[in-house]
Amino acid sequence: MRNELYSLWKNAKLYTPQGVINGAMMLVNPNGTIQSVEQLELGFTSENSAQVINVSGLTLLPGFIDIHVHGGNGFNVMDADYRSIDEISRFHAAHGTTSFLATTETASKDAITEALTCVTRAMETGVSGAEILGVHLEGPFLNAKRRGAQNEKEIRTPSVNELEHYLEASKNLIRLVTLAPEISGGMEAVQNFYSRGVTVSAGHTDATYEQVVEAIGYGVSHTTHHFNGMSPFHHRDPGVSGAGLMLQELTTELIADGIHVHPATVKLLFEVKSSRNICLITDAVTCCGLPDGEYGKIRMTNGQIYLKDGNSLAGSSLTTMQALKNAIQFTGCPLEQILPSLTEVPARQIGVDHRKGTLEPGKDADFLVIDENMHILATYVKGIEVYRSPNFN
């Protein structure tokens, strides 16, 4: 339900693009956008016009945007069920995500279509947690050699008809696609998606460095879970891993759980690329948030998720807030230096930075209230509270 009053947040430590403001005041419009952010008194004092929230000693962060998330808390995008999508949105909102791309996986054409249709309907209906910004189509146009946990039997080469079918089924709400540009028809698929305004990511790919350079010419601007599911770096063949490190045209996704990528390598990537060219993601799957155990074809032990019949990692149990904490710990960088990788960068990469990613006038009031220990006390999406901790009074 939309607020009928302005919301005036007072005495906050506020993280903005211009820097950290102490004792800040943020005024949120009834329509869920930010009207103003000031360090001094706004002069907006009418109790009849605004709900005043004094958060002295607390911090407001821009909400996190997760452009690669499959599920959580027992639910998955591929369930093709509205309740699943809503539960995913609620679960991740409690862990810092205010908006996300519902991410598919390699499956039959019919299964992908059902998932796309469901996500589209959920966007039209609305969900009760983090906002759905569209779809991340991960597969089925991948290289089987770098499939990871993707279903090898359903991996296929792209066709114009199948591309158009998915775009139509999603009502053109596919914002990001992961594919292997080096496979037969791959470069044409890159060009096709790019021409339709879709961000194209190289992932589950065995491309050479030279093929990545070629793919950039067709429209690739992103890599999927960098270092994972791609040709590794070698001094005589840099592969996709090396291309992501060296080519400024590429923004690299990163799963900062300390499992998919060694903490020292996380530090290296931030030092080479900077936070403005790294997109922190969760790649969270169904069992994220659940106890260790077996879940279908996967097994989770100590939060690490593997296929039961092999050694392949099968997604993560990571949340966006934990990704932020890990990246700070692994790199030694302050919060404000890492923060863009969860806010401004994903917003830019999927073309929603005009309304998401920062706390500044005109943008959606998507933000987190956290304490000094980085515990989430509340999550707001377009000015509406979608999560509240029992500890937030």
In angstroms, the CA 4 to CA 129 distance is 20
Indicate the DSSP class of residue 232.
P
Q: Omega before 140 cis (within 30°)?
A: yes
Tokens representing residue 176 in the block: 């990001």
Rounded distance between C-alpha atoms, residue 203 and residue 205, angstroms: 5
What is the residue whose two structure tokens read 């793919």?
Answer: 215
Q: 43 vs 26, 27, 28, 46, 50, CA distance in Å?
A: 12, 11, 14, 9, 11
What sign for the dihedral angle of Cα 122, 124, 127, 133?
A: positive
CA distance linking residue 68 with residue 59, whole number of Å: 26
Instruction: Check residue 118 and give left, alpha or beta (phi > 0: left; psi -120 to 50: alpha).
Output: alpha
Closest CA to 201 of 269, 281, 266: 281
Tokens of 212: 């990545």
Q: Is 292 a catalytic residue?
A: no
* Pairing label, strands 64-69, 97-103: parallel
Cα(177)–Cα(267) distance, integer angstroms: 27
CA-CA distances (angstroms) from residue 132 to 79, 217, 252, 289, 314? Answer: 16, 30, 22, 20, 23
- Amino acid, res. 62: P
Among 66, 79, 283, 364, the active-site one is 283
Enumerate the active-site residues: 283
